[in-house]
Chain A
C-alpha cells in the first residue's frame, strides 16, 4: 500500500529500495549518506522480504559485492559520498564493461580530497564523463526532492535492467539530508529465481537443467572482438540518448534569461525566479533530470529567444561545459557557483545574474 511519510532523502532511498523488491544492499558508512545503511539495518528487511544488507569493509569491497550481485541478475545497490565513490570507480568500469545492471547512489559532498562533509555538486564530471577507465557511460539521474530520491531509485533500476548498464543517482548533501513529505509506493515482491532466469538469461545462477554455462567478464584479449564489444556498448549508449533524456522546464517559453541547474540548486533557482518576477525580470528554468544522457537539444531550443543563460552549480563550473556545447556559442552562457560546501542564497544568485549580464533594474 502507498504510504505518506515525512523523512530525509537518505531514508527515502532505503524505503524505496525495500519496496522495489531489492535483493541486496552493500555499503560503507560515509557522511552525509550513512542514514541509508542505518535505515536499512533498522528496518531489517531480511526478516520480511529476504533482502540482504551488508556493511562492507570498504567502498572497494562494496562496489564489487554489487558487481557480484548484479552479475547474478539480482536487484542490488550501494550508496556512498564523493570520496567513497572515487574508490568505486574501478568497479563501475567493470560493471559497465560486463553489461550488468546496478544502481549506485552518490550523495555528493565537497572535495577534492577528503574535502568537507557539506553539500556539493562537484562530481558532475566524474559521473557523466566516465570516472573509471575506458569508453563507458552510466545513466545519471539527479533528484531534487525527497520524493525524487524515492522515485528515481525505481526508475534507476528499471533503466539499469532495460539497458544492462550501471545507473547512478547523483544527489547532493542537501537532498540527502533534508526532510520532506514523500509518498512511498506500494511494495512489490522480490523476483524469484525462475523470474530472474526468464528476465536475465545471462545471469550467474548455476547451470540449472544443464543449460549452457554463463560467464560474466569484461576481458577480451582478441582486439577485433574487443572492438566489437566496445561498438556494442556505444550502440546501447546511442539508444539511451535517443530514448531516455529527461528534464523539467518552468517558464522557458518566454523568458529573458534561462537558468540551468540540477538537484538542490534547481530548488534554489525556483526561488530566484520568484524574486526576479517581483522585480519584473522574466526567468526560465531548465532542470536536467538525466545528466547523462544530457538534454542538449532542449537547452538549445529553450534558450533560443533568451538573452543569456546562467548555469547555477555547487561547483567551479562543470555542467556549464555541456550547456555551452548545447547552445554552440549562439547564446551567452555564464556560471555561478559556490564551493567547499557553501550553498548560495537566491538573492546571491540573482545578484550574480544581474551583474554578469549587466542588468540594471
Chain B
C-alpha cells in the first residue's frame, strides 16, 4: 500500500471547510481568531446557511474577518457592528446575521450598541472574542484587561485606582430580557473547541428561529500582545483569565 492508496475520498476524516478560503491569514501563530473563524465556516456549511449568512466585521484584529470566511460581510465602524446587524436582520428577517467583535468593540467603544441590541432582543448572534488586550493597535489595555496585567498603556500593570475594574460584559448581557442564550467558551484544547462549536451553532440556530439575541464569548489568547509563546499563553489563560471569566453557560433559555 502506498500513499496514493491512502489518499482516497472514502478515507478522509477531516477537511478544511470550503467557506474558509485560502487567503493568507494575518493572525499571529497561536491566536484564537483562526480557530473561531474555522468553526464559523464549518458551522455555516453544516447548517447549509452559505446563501443566507451575513457577517458584520468589527474594528480590531478581526477587521479582516471578511477576507477569510466566504460569505457576505459588512465592515462596521468600531463598536457599531450590533447597530449594523440590527438593520441587516430587521430588513432581511430570513437571513442569518452575526457580529464578530473583540473586547474593545463589545465592551468599550460599542458598549451602548451591544447592550441595546441585546436588550431589544435582536435576532442576531454576537461572537465576542475576549483576549483582554487590544491586539491590532499593539497591545493596549482593554476593558477586560485583568488587574495587574501589563499592557502598553498599563506598563506597570492595571490598577483599580488608575484604570478601574475589568468589565465582564457577558454577565451584563445575561441579565437582559432580550438575550436567549449567553455563554462563555474557549478554544485552547480540542475538547474546548468542540464545546465552542456547539455554542456557536446554537447561537446561529437561535438567530434563524427568532428566539432573541445570543452571545458567545470566547475567552481567547493574544500571545503576541501578552508576549508569550502560544503554549505559555494557553496556560496563562487557564490560570488567570478563567478566574475572572469562568467558562460555561450564563443563560440558556
Contacts and interface: CB of A to CB of B under 8 A. Distances in A.
Interface in A15-61: 23-24, 26, 52, 54, 56-58, 60-61
User: Taking chain B's interface residues, is the majority helix, strand, or loop, or is none over half, making it mixed?
Assistant: mixed
Interface stretch (B49-57, B204-212, B243-251): B49-57
Q: Which 8 A-B pairs have the closest CB atoms?
A: A68-B84, A68-B87, A217-B75, A64-B83, A64-B80, A69-B87, A57-B116, A65-B87
User: Taking chain A's interface residues, is the majority helix, strand, or loop, or is none over half, making it mixed?
Assistant: mixed
A204 B74 contact: yes
Interface of A: 23-24, 26, 52, 54, 56-58, 60-62, 64-69, 71-72, 74, 76, 90-91, 94, 98, 193, 204-210, 213-219
Contact of B73 (A66, A91, A193, A204): A204
A215 B87 contact: no
Given A71-B84, A218-B75, A52 B91 contact: yes
Contacts of B20: none
6 contacts: A52-B91, A60-B112, A65-B86, A193-B92, A204-B54, A213-B72
B95 interface: yes
Interface stretch (B1-9, B29-37, B63-71): B63-71
B77 interface: yes
Contacts of B70: 207, 213
Interface residues of B, number: 32
Contacts of B80: 60-61, 64, 67, 91
Nearest to B75: A217
Given A24-B91, A215-B66, A206 B74 contact: no
B112 A57 contact: yes
B85 interface: yes
A215 B90 contact: no
Given A68-B88, A205-B54, 11 more contacts: A64-B83, A68-B76, A69-B88, A72-B88, A76-B91, A98-B75, A206-B52, A206-B95, A210-B51, A214-B73, A217-B75
